[in-house]
Amino acid sequence: MLRAAEPQPLPILLQADRLRSTTDRETIAEGAVELRQGGLLIRADRLRYRPPSDRANASGNVFLQREGATYRGSELDLAVKDFSGWFVDPAFDFPLLGTRGQASRIDFASRTRFTAADARYTSCPRPEDGSEPDWQLQARKVTLDFDANEGLAEGARLRFQGLSILALPRMSFPITGERKSGWLPPTLNLDSRSGFELSVPYYWNIAPDRDLTVAPRLITRRGLGLESEYRYLAPRYSGQLRADLLPDDRLAGRTRHALNLLHEHQLPRGGSLQLRGLRVSDDAWWKDFQTPDDVLTPRLLGSQARWSQPLAWQGLALDAYAQVQHWQVLQELEAPITAPYARRPQLGLAGQGQAGPLELSFETELNRFERPDDDAAGTRPQGWRWHGVGTLAWPLRQGGLAIVPRLSLNAASYRTDEPMADGRRNAQRLVPTLSLDASLEFERETDLWFGRTLRQTLEPRLLWVRTPYRRQDQLPNFDAWGKDFNLSSIYTPNAFSGVDRVSDAHELTAGATSRLIDPLNGSELLRVGVVQRYLFRDQLVAPQSDGQVDGAPLEQRFSDILLLGSTRLIPQWSLDASLQYSPDIGRLSRSILGASYTPGPYRTISGRYRLARGVSEQFELGWQWPLYKAEAPAGGTASGGCRGTWYSVGRMNYSLRDSRVTDSLLGAEYDAGCWILRVVSERLSTGRSEATTRLLLQLELVGLSRLGSNPLQVLKDNIPGYRLLREDRDERAVPSSP
């Protein structure tokens, strides 16, 4: 039987000023000693190596390096091959992790496991005067197991600025960024409605594809609660389930809860299934607690189950889908909102394709609309609706010229549970639309702008639409709403979103856009545009000014003029404007003016003015800006040293009409190099005369953890151009062992 050859051990290279050797027994080296084997390096004043036991004993200015980690101390005894032994008074550095520390003794059990006694650990540079670093983790005993990705500290104490801020008799932590079960740092919150909140989460790494976080919490004004999050991930599906329970809210006098479910499943042949459920116990939940980040409107919570399957037939790309959808609306007496209908079910098929020069697209759906929960009196109709929308286009494109004639048919059939406005329970309608969309694009090179050669375009566009009048005010309205009049909607043939209303039209929309483009990188440096619509006759099916359907006929021949402009021609500046000018009143009816100045990283300030005449007038200011940077100490510090820099962050939304600040966010960040402090105060309006104020405080110990409440998502969502401090650092690789 043949056996594989044993791997040959790497040779040991030993050099020094003086060498004494006894064959196969021991070698003694003195003066500038250096021992190497592969990636292992030992330097010392004196070293004794014994081949029979493969042990090296070094003393005097001992330096040990292996796989990126370095150790310095007074005496080392080490089995070279299996890396077991001990090190006295070592100071250690993990450059790949950006951390360092020291101990009274380290015992190496293997290449991937060691124990340190009286250990101190930090990411701050070693002070030259021998004082304590800004922060450090002290422990009576620390055991690191890189194979199990587990660190275990006994008698642990976290010190910050000379003070003990956290003490635990025993704590475990992951060595790398991999997940590991254990207690997470506590979270602290303070707000004007609930008081002080303390949450201590426990993380359970159930399996590589599943985990659970459970966080008991204490809210001083409300009582005890529990938050939990279960996550799972598989090759074809993933999801999470979050639950928040407050068994006895002392302020509200009742039990309160929230559930949030998200599941996404990839089916065979490209199909997909998505489940989303979001429910809370009461209408005031959005005021007292935070809603999920992906919820755009905190008072409108949606739940749905959707299946979709892509198909192909006769050259058409099809998408079949089925869905059930329900909404929970958090109502208020002083500011009620209209709840959308529930759809149980919604069945549809959409497709598009091309036959020669013709382009075809269509959509057909069958819906069952059910009244919202807040309409117990049954004042809104409910029932079934089938609709079909088909479009046939014959685009003609040549160079910079594009002409697209298009014919559309919009059909709908209704069957309601209660009689409609005219007494019928069944009704149908068919509305055709003919349109012609024509555009041109001219280009030229110009050097009239700041001495730079740029490409300038001129892009005129005309849209002619003809839709006959069909009476629709006696039909139910399940999902139609008047579109906002803006640069996107003016080039659409229908003044309504949804299906239940189709505006009649005989109109012409004319506009032009000009752009300046940098030919070197294709970036757009300047854009200006103007557009206006002309009605050849009155529009009888028109929305009201607030978006409601079935408004008075639109008799204004010339629409408001829309103007837009944006530029990045001025270095470090970004300017934009969107204006709506009314010829009838000779004034601007709407306007948005914005400016942003960003001279460098972590330096941005932006302002935006919004006017909707007769409705609102607001000014918004946001910024992230350094306030003060401490000078480096004499003699300098190590790279990445604790040179403190203060940053101011904030956003303020001021109502000029009401002469008050509606929402605000004010804070400061202090980057000391090895730790970052964030203090943020957020004030959110929750009614005409009430607001909630939250205080977010976080201490980030670079290389260890973040303590306190997390304001990072709040800063990213509210401050345009905000950048996370130190996010420019490269992701550091983690060594397999020290």
Structure tokens at 183: 């207690």
* CA distance linking residue 515 with residue 54, whole number of Å: 75
At 49-64, the pLDDT tens digits run 998 888 999 999 999 9
pTM: 0.80
Q: Is the pLDDT of residue 299 over 90?
A: no
More confident residue, 263 or 157: 263
Average pLDDT over residues 447-451: 70
What local confidence, expressed as pLDDT, does residue 73 receive?
93
Q: Is the pLDDT of residue 1 over 60?
A: no
What local confidence, expressed as pLDDT, does residue 177 receive?
59
What local confidence, expressed as pLDDT, does residue 176 receive?
62
* CA distance linking residue 319 with residue 717, whole number of Å: 34
Q: What residue has token string 């101990």?
A: 103
Structure tokens at 571: 């270095």
More confident residue, 510 or 732: 510
* CA distance linking residue 621 with residue 651, whole number of Å: 5
Q: Which of 665, 568, 668, 682 is nearest to 625 (CA)?
A: 668
Q: What residue has token string 């609660």?
A: 225
Structure tokens at 102: 């020291």
Poorest-pLDDT segment among 200-214, 353-367, 674-688: 674-688
What local confidence, expressed as pLDDT, does residue 314 receive?
84
H helix intervals, 547-704: none
More confident residue, 202 or 172: 202
How many Cβ atoms sit within 10 Å of the Cβ of residue 484? 11
Average pLDDT over residues 478-504: 93
At 690-713, the pLDDT tens digits run 788 889 899 988 877 788 888 888
Poorest-pLDDT segment among 20-24, 408-412, 418-422: 20-24
Average pLDDT over residues 432-440: 97
Rounded (5°) CA angle 692-693-698: 135
Q: Judging by beta carbons within 10 Å of its beta carbon (0-12, 13-18, 19+), is residue 75 exposed, middle or buried?
A: middle
Q: Judging by beta carbons within 10 Å of its beta carbon (0-12, 13-18, 19+), is residue 595 exposed, middle or buried?
A: middle
Q: What percent of the chain has pLDDT over 70?
A: 93
Average pLDDT over residues 672-687: 87
User: Quick one: pLDDT band at residue 293, thresholds 50, 70, 90?
Assistant: low
Average pLDDT over residues 479-500: 92
Q: Is the pLDDT of residue 266 over 80?
A: yes
Poorest-pLDDT segment among 20-24, 145-149, 191-195, 730-734: 730-734
What local confidence, expressed as pLDDT, does residue 636 receive?
36
What local confidence, expressed as pLDDT, does residue 89 receive?
92
What local confidence, expressed as pLDDT, does residue 737 receive?
30
Residue 147 three-state SS: coil
Structure tokens at 83: 């890396």
Q: Which amino acid is at 596?
A: S
How many Cβ atoms sit within 10 Å of the Cβ of residue 6? 6
Q: CA dist 661 to 620, 657, 691, 693, Å?
A: 10, 11, 11, 13
CB neighbour list of residue 29: distance below 8 Å, 6 or more residues apart: 14, 15, 16, 18, 19, 20, 35, 46, 47, 48, 49
* CA distance linking residue 112 with residue 67, whole number of Å: 11
* CA distance linking residue 78 with residue 56, whole number of Å: 5
Q: What percent of the chain has pLDDT over 90?
A: 56
Q: Judging by beta carbons within 10 Å of its beta carbon (0-12, 13-18, 19+), is residue 531 exposed, middle or buried?
A: buried
Q: Which of 372, 283, 298, 379 is nearest to 331 (CA)?
A: 283
Q: Is the pLDDT of residue 425 over 50?
A: yes
H helix intervals, 565-720: 712-718
Q: Is the pLDDT of residue 641 over 70?
A: no
Structure tokens at 223: 């009582």
Sign, Cα dihedral of 250, 251, 255, 259: negative
What local confidence, expressed as pLDDT, does residue 9 receive?
67
What local confidence, expressed as pLDDT, does residue 628 receive?
84
Q: Is the pLDDT of residue 188 over 80?
A: yes
What local confidence, expressed as pLDDT, does residue 2 receive?
39
User: Quick one: pLDDT band at residue 255, thresholds 50, 70, 90?
Assistant: very high
Are 79 and 51 contacting, i.e. CB atoms less than 8 angstroms apart?
no
Which of 598-622 are b and which e, b meaning 16 or more Cβ less than 10 Å from the residue's Cβ? beeebbbbbbbbbbeeeeebbebeb
Q: Which of 538, 536, 543, 537 is nearest to 554 (CA)?
A: 538
Ordered DSSP codes for 527-565 = EEEEEEEEESS-BSS---TTS-SS---B--SB-PEEEEE
What local confidence, expressed as pLDDT, does residue 175 receive?
64
Displacement of CA 168 from its chain's centroid (Å): 33
Q: Is the pLDDT of residue 640 over 50?
A: no
Residue 708 three-state SS: strand
What local confidence, expressed as pLDDT, does residue 511 receive?
96
What local confidence, expressed as pLDDT, does residue 727 receive?
60
Are 79 and 52 contacting, i.e. CB atoms less than 8 angstroms apart?
no
User: Quick one: pLDDT band at residue 501, thresholds 50, 70, 90?
Assistant: very high
At 313-369, the pLDDT tens digits run 888 999 999 999 999 998 876 777 888 999 999 999 999 999 889 999 999 999 999
More confident residue, 219 or 686: 219
Q: Which of 7-16, 64-73, 334-343 has the highest mean pLDDT?
A: 64-73
What local confidence, expressed as pLDDT, does residue 728 receive?
44
Are 124 and 101 contacting, i.e. CB atoms less than 8 angstroms apart?
no
Q: Helix/strand/coil (H, E, C) string of 71-97?
A: EEEEEEEEECCCCEEEEECCEEEECCC
Strands 105-110 and 84-88: antiparallel
Q: Is the pLDDT of residue 647 over 90?
A: yes
What local confidence, expressed as pLDDT, does residue 80 receive?
87
CB neighbour list of residue 697: distance below 8 Å, 6 or more residues apart: 188, 190, 678, 679, 680, 708, 709
Average pLDDT over residues 131-146: 87
Average of per-residue pLDDT values in the chain: 88
Ordered DSSP codes for 33-71 = EEEEETTEEEEEEEEEEETTTTEEEEEEEEEEEETTEEE
Structure tokens at 683: 């004030």
More confident residue, 169 or 276: 276
Q: Is the pLDDT of residue 499 over 80?
A: yes
CB neighbour list of residue 132: distance below 8 Å, 6 or more residues apart: 159, 162
Are 121 and 99 contacting, i.e. CB atoms less than 8 angstroms apart?
yes
First to last CA, the chain: 40
- Containing H/E element for 141? strand 135-145
More confident residue, 669 or 95: 669
What local confidence, expressed as pLDDT, does residue 649 receive?
95
Ordered DSSP codes for 478-508 = SS-EEPP-STTGGGSS-SEESSS----EEEE
CB neighbour list of residue 603: distance below 8 Å, 6 or more residues apart: 624, 625, 626
Displacement of CA 499 from its chain's centroid (Å): 33
Q: Is the pLDDT of residue 738 over 60?
A: no
Displacement of CA 68 from its chain's centroid (Å): 34
Q: Which amino acid is at 645?
A: T
* CA distance linking residue 533 with residue 470, whole number of Å: 22
Q: Judging by beta carbons within 10 Å of its beta carbon (0-12, 13-18, 19+), is residue 581 exposed, middle or buried?
A: middle
Q: Judging by beta carbons within 10 Å of its beta carbon (0-12, 13-18, 19+), is residue 349 exposed, middle or buried?
A: middle
Peptide bond into 345 cis (omega under 30): yes
What local confidence, expressed as pLDDT, does residue 528 receive?
96
Poorest-pLDDT segment among 95-104, 436-445, 477-486, 593-602: 95-104
